[in-house]
Every structure is written in C-alpha cells, then in structure tokens.
C-alpha cells in the first residue's frame, strides 16, 4: 500500500520538478500596445533555454488589427534561420508565413511570395507580417554585423546607429535604455529602444507604441527624445534642400493651367518675388527684372500647388507630400502635440512640408474608439472638446464612428457657433442622410454614401463598413429614386464629399502577390521594403466573389461621377501613402469620367474654396501666395502627367523633387 501511494506522489514530484525547471529556463515578457494614448493590445515574448522565441501579438484599431503568433529561431549572429507565423493581418485576411535557411539556401512562403534563394552572404529576412519585436532582432543583428549593415531578404539593405540613451523611472524602479535608428526599411529611419543587453524595450510614436508592460507612462519621455533627434535631422535637411532665391523669379514660356476657367494658356510668364506672385501674362507682355532668376518652362505645364484634403501627417512625411507637388494638406485626425510641432517646424522653415489645415477628431468611448483622446459621452463633454480644438487653432471637427447619434446635432451646433466646419464618418446607428440633416458640412469616404442605402448595416464601427461595400456596392441601382433623392439632399445642403476612392480600389481589387494597382506605375522607384508592402493584397475575398469585389470598385467610381454631374463639391483626399496616392486619386476621378481639367480644379482651387483659402491659394494669379508646380507634360490633357513634377515652389521657396525623393530612397 505504501509503495502504491508513493508512486503517484513520486510522479507528481517529478512533474513539479520538471515544470519548475521549464519555467526557470523560459523568460516571458509582456508588452502593451498603445494607440493614441489608449491601451489597444499586447505582445508577449517567451524565450526558451535554446533561444527559440515565441510571440503573440494583437491589437484592436476600430475593429481592425492583426492577431498573430510566431516562432522564431536565430543563429549565433542573430539572423533568423526559422520563422513560422500564423493568424490574421490588419484587415483580417489569414496569415501563414514560413521562412527557413539551410545550407546557405533561404526559402520563404507567405501567401504573396514563394521563393528559394542561394545566399552569397549573410542576410536578414524581414517578415511580411511581423511582430514589433522583430525590429529589435534586426537591430541586434545589425549591431553585430560588420559595419553595422546587412543585406535584407527579399531585397534591400539596412544599417543601424545609436542615437541616444536615457534612464526611465516608474515609481521606485528605473531602467537604462538605448535608442537606435534603422535605415533601409522605409522612407525614413525606424526608431526603437533596447535595454543594455539588447532586449526589446519599446517602439514609440505619437500614434502607436509598443512598450514593456508596467512602463507605459515612460513612453512620452522616450518619444520626446526621439522627436529631438528627428528635429535635428529634419532641420538639417530643410536647410540643405530648400532654396530661397533672394531675388525675383520669372518662369517663362509656360503652359499655364488656369484653375478658374479650366483652360491652359501657352507662352505665359509668371513673375514671383518673395512669397507672392507679382504678375502673370503673355511672354511678350511681361519683362522680367534684370536681376531676376529665369526658369525656362518651354514644353512644360505650370499648375497651382496640389491639395490633399485627407491626411494624417506624421514625422518626416512632409517631404513626401512636397516632392509630389502637394503644397497644402488638411489633417483629419492626429495627436495635437505632434501635429502642432510638425506645423511649427514647417512654418519656421525647419522642416520641409506642406501648409497644414487642422481638423480635430472627436469620438465616443468604447472598443471601437478612434485614435484620439477626445472621447465624449455627454453634451458637456462635446462642448468641451469643441472649445479645446477652437482654442488650439483648428478649423474643423471630424466626427467619428462611436459618437452617440443623439449627441451629433448639439455637437455640430457648438462647432458652427465657433466657426468650425464639421465633417467625418457617419456615426454608427446613424445614416448619412441623418448626418447631413443634422448639419454636417462634409462626408468622408465614399463607402458611407453607399451605406446610406444599406440600412440593415447599423453598426458601421466594424469592418462591415468595408466588407458590405465589397459585397453589395455593385448591386445598388444608381438611377433609383432613393439615390437621386439623397444626391438632391447633398446638393440642397451644399454638402462636400471626400471620396478617398483610391483606398477602396486597394481594398477591393488588390490581390496577394501582385503590386497594388494604385502604385503599379511607381512601385519600382520605391525603397525595396516599401515596394514589398504593396503585394499583401486588400480585403480577404470569399470564394467566388472576386469579380463582385471588382464590380463594386467600379460602382464607387460611378457614384463619384454621379456626384460630380450633380454639382456636389468633391475634394481630393487620400488617407494613405503621402504624395503618390493623391496622383492616383486624380487618375481615378478621370477614369470615372471627370475631365482632367476638372480633376485638377478639384485638387487646387476647389479645395482652397472649401477651406476658405481661395483668396490666397488655389490658382496662379497676381497677389496670391507662390505655391505652384512646373510639370513635364500637360496634366490638363493627360492627368497622369501630374506625376512628372520637375520643380515645386511653395511660399516662394524652390524645391527639386529629385533631390527630395533621393533623401527618401525613391528613384527618379
């Protein structure tokens, strides 16, 4: 009996001993994902005794967001030799990614790429769907590598440099951390923070941060130090790449596009002094001053600077906008401190970028809350939020999806009383008609126009606001009485529409393994890892629905044309990659049937009028601010020529797009 009782005890003791040994051999670290100051998800890292790393990562961004698990093994140099990742991506498409190296042969398969390659030298595979901590793995491998540089797989090269260090404190705890920047992954460096032993501590930004659990309050201090490094770099670039003429500038022999009439006039001279246009007229009528700098624009078009009316500008993105000829933008949701800092830097000449018009986002609390700290549940909170934005110099309010419908009319009245425009998403459980009737000045995104007619979709905070459009937009009869009546309502209320059709083109027509249609013409110019991000595809397509998704994308363009034909004011916004996406947005307007001159008017004078800046901007005319572009070709005839900007003039300063793009790793 004694022996029988002892056997299970011995087994239990052995199991306990084994469990304790496994626990002591493993290290688990938890991280918090913070979006716009709100906890939104997590990453957990478990490292086994043999160095194998297991990750779990997910976050909720308004119903979107990845949910991934990954197992990674590294070699002695810190290079991945095995990666297996599964789950879903940001748009909920399934993810299955595998990578391995054996006998100097790398193999990977991720649904968009399937390749095998002999490695002539060590290289670091960058996952198509990666964990935040993979940035730290890359940084550590680069720190060990000769010259702190490594080839990347599938393409490109990265390097790392230390940019600072600090000690953060939470309560009675302190942690020394070191800042690094990695070049070669995007248009600008990627920043992260490591502990002294190389352990991942944080990657922070004004929008999304990932930081060790328990240290969330230190993110703002780390971001401040990062911003100081960014500010020095952007200031140096601004002083290097901005040319201030110091004398009059005469652009001669130009084919000038008049955004008022929509007509082009060849053999035109534009005379600029300081930041103003002095005179515009025929070459034979205007004699430039003797000390003027002459720019011969023979065979080229001159158009007003472009406007992007839907951006969320981030650090280092101003140069992307300006290189593409975008001299004015409207920011429709951002961190106030970060946005104000970017705007101040641009206005002071310490950062290259467009003029920024600020619109502040307001949302309701809940699991689908947008990226803002301005969350409201009562009319008093709505008034306080509007008052704050007005005090900070904002020009409008963006209502977001979780605002309670009953708060919307009062919120709009408060905003209008402060002289602020109101636009935004149509809040959940509210129709676009109700939003317009409540006094909204503008609708964001063409999908909300369609959702007005699919009234069975009540909760538009979820991905249903995308998937419903993909599945059903093609079925909507655009000649039906409800559609005609709604367009009439928009006309009567002078409601503006910001379609952002380019992002829906991507969602509905992009497929894994193929370059996104919206960027196909410029993909080869982009940094390799940016280009690679264009092959991930759009929304997951159910079996048998491929053509329906494409037909729905076409239906969105048909609706844009109906709005244009009815005289509904349209503004060109993107909500995507700066610069290049605006060009695509205009191409899609022309594809929809809008004449090229009118597409240009939408993106110049039309936008300036909506923002009440048309007395100073939007056309090339005497007395106006000198924001204009010289373009190889004639975009009033072929809208795609808008991509061929040879010179950007903003506020009288001259910028060479090739030089700007060169700093971002973009080929001419």
Query: What's the pLDDT score for residue 2?
Result: 34
Residue 13 has pLDDT above 70, yes or no: no
In 3D, which of 443, 470, 666 has the Cα closest to residue 570? 443
Element (H, E) at 14: helix 2-25
Q: Which residues pair with 75 in a beta bridge?
A: none
Cis peptide before 217 (omega within 30 of 0): no
Residue 658 has pLDDT above 50, yes or no: yes
Query: What's the pLDDT score for residue 26?
Result: 82
In 3D, which of 574, 577, 608 has the Cα closest to residue 589? 574
Q: Is there a contact between 500 and 573 (Cβ–Cβ < 8 Å)?
A: yes
Please, which pLDDT band fits residue 371 given cuts at 50, 70 and 90? confident
In 3-state terms, what secondary structure has residue 364?
A: strand
* Average pLDDT of the residues in 565-592: 98
d(CA 649, CA 665): 22
* Average pLDDT of the residues in 111-123: 95
Residue 18 has pLDDT above 80, yes or no: no
* Average pLDDT of the residues in 62-75: 95
Cβ neighbours of residue 107 closer than 8 Å, sequence gap 6 or more: 98, 99, 100, 101, 115, 116, 117
Please report, for the chain, the start and end positions of each structural domain, with discontinuous segments joined by +.
Answer: 25-240, 441-570+581-592
Percent of the chain with pLDDT over 70: 96
* Average pLDDT of the residues in 73-77: 96
Residue 24 has pLDDT above 60, yes or no: no
E strand spans, 184-226: 190-195, 200-203, 208-212
CA-angle at 300, arms to 284 and 590, nearest 5°: 125
Residue 4 has pLDDT above 50, yes or no: no
The CA-based diameter of the chain, rounded to the nearest angstrom, is: 117
* Average pLDDT of the residues in 422-444: 97
d(CA 667, CA 663): 10
Query: What's the pLDDT score for residue 37?
Result: 85
Alpha helices in 270-400 (DSSP H): 318-323, 336-347, 379-391
Give the tens place of pLDDT for each residue, 316-344.
Answer: 899 999 999 999 999 999 999 999 999 99
Q: How many residues does the chain have?
A: 668
Please identify which residue in the block is written with the tokens 């301005």: 374
Least confident of 9-18, 153-162, 512-521: 9-18
* Average pLDDT of the residues in 2-25: 38
Instruction: State the pTM of this model.
Output: 0.92
Please, which pLDDT band fits residue 16 given cuts at 50, 70 and 90? very low
d(CA 425, CA 126): 35
118: how many CB neighbours lie within 10 A of its CB? 8
Element (H, E) at 550: helix 546-565
Residue 219 has pLDDT above 90, yes or no: yes
* Average pLDDT of the residues in 86-91: 94
Residue 25 has pLDDT above 70, yes or no: no
Give the tens place of pLDDT for each residue, 595-653.
Answer: 999 999 999 999 999 999 999 999 999 999 999 999 999 999 999 999 999 999 999 99
Please, which pLDDT band fits residue 86 given cuts at 50, 70 and 90? very high
d(CA 464, CA 454): 11
E strand spans, 274-354: 276-282, 293-296, 300-304, 306-311, 326-331
Query: What's the pLDDT score for residue 627?
Result: 98
Residue 17 has pLDDT above 50, yes or no: no
* Average pLDDT of the residues in 256-260: 98
Residue 264 has pLDDT above 90, yes or no: yes
Say which residue, 96 or 23, is predicted with more confidence. Answer: 96
How confident is the prediction for the chain on average, in pLDDT? 94
């Amino acid at each position: 009996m004694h022996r029988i009782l002892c056997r299970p005890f011995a087994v239990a003791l052995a199991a306990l001993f084994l469990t304790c040994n496994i626990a002591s051999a493993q290290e688990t670290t938890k991280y918090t994902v913070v979006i716009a100051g709100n906890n939104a998800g997590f990453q957990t890292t478990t490292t086994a005794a043999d160095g194998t790393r297991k990750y779990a990562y997910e976050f909720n961004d308004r119903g979107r967001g990845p949910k991934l698990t990954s197992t990674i093994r590294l070699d002695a140099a810190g290079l991945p030799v095995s990666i297996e990742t599964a789950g879903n991506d940001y748009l909920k498409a399934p993810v299955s990614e595998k990578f391995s190296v054996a006998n100097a042969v790398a193999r990977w398969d991720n649904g968009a790429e399937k390749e095998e390659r002999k490695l002539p030298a060590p290289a670091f595979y960058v996952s198509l769907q990666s964990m935040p901590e993979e940035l730290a793995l890359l940084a550590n491998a680069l720190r060990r590598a000769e010259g702190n540089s490594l080839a990347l797989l599938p393409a490109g090269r990265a390097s790392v440099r230390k940019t600072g260090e600090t000690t953060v404190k939470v309560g009675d705890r302190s942690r020394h951390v070191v800042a690094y920047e990695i070049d070669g992954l995007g248009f600008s460096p990627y920043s992260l923070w490591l502990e002294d032993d190389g352990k991942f501590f944080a990657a922070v930004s004004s929008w999304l941060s990932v930081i060790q659990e328990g240290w969330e309050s230190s993110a703002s201090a780390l971001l401040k130090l990062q911003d100081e490094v960014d500010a020095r770099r952007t200031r140096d670039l601004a002083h290097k790449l901005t040319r201030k003429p110091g004398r009059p500038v005469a652009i001669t022999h130009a084919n000038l596009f008049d955004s008022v009439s929509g007509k082009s006039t060849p053999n035109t001279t534009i005379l600029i002094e300081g930041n103003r246009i002095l005179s515009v007229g025929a070459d034979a009528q205007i004699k430039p001053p003797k000390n003027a700098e002459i720019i011969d624009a023979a065979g080229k078009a001159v158009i007003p600077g472009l406007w992007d009316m839907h951006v969320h500008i981030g650090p280092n993105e101003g140069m992307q906008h300006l290189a593409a000829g975008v001299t004015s933008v409207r920011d429709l949701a951002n961190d106030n401190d970060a946005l104000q800092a970017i705007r101040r830097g641009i206005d002071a000449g310490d950062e290259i970028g467009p003029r920024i018009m600020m619109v502040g986002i307001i949302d309701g609390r809940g699991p689908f809350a947008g990226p803002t700290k301005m969350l409201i549940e009562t009319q008093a909170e709505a008034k306080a939020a509007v008052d704050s934005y007005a005090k900070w110099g904002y020009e409008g309010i963006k209502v977001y999806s979780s605002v309670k419908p009953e708060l919307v009319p009062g919120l709009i009245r408060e905003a209008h009383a402060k002289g602020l425009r109101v636009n935004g998403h149509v809040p959940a459980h509210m129709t676009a008609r109700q939003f317009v009737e409540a006094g909204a000045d503008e609708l964001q995104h063409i999908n909300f126009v369609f959702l007005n007619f699919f009234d069975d979709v009540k909760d538009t905070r979820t991905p249903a606001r995308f998937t419903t459009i993909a599945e059903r937009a093609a079925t909507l009869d655009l000649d039906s009485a409800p559609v005609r009546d709604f367009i009439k309502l928009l006309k009567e209320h002078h409601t503006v529409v910001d379609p952002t059709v380019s992002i829906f083109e991507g969602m509905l027509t992009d497929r894994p393994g193929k370059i996104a249609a919206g960027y196909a013409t410029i993909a080869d110019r982009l940094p390799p890892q940016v280009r690679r991000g264009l092959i991930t595809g759009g929304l997951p397509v159910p079996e048998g629905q491929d053509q329906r998704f494409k037909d729905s994308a076409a239906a969105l363009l048909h609706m844009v044309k109906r709005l244009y034909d009815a005289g509904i004011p349209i503004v060109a916004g993107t909500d995507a990659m700066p610069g290049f996406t605006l060009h695509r947005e205009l191409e899609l307007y022309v594809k929809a049937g809008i004449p090229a001159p009118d597409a240009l008017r939408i993106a110049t004078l039309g936008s300036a009028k909506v923002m009440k800046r048309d007395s100073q901007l939007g056309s090339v005319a005497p007395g106006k601010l000198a924001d204009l572009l010289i373009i190889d070709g004639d975009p009033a005839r072929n809208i795609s020529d808008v991509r061929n900007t040879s010179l950007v003039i903003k506020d009288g300063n001259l910028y060479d797009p090739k030089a700007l793009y060169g700093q971002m790793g973009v080929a001419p």
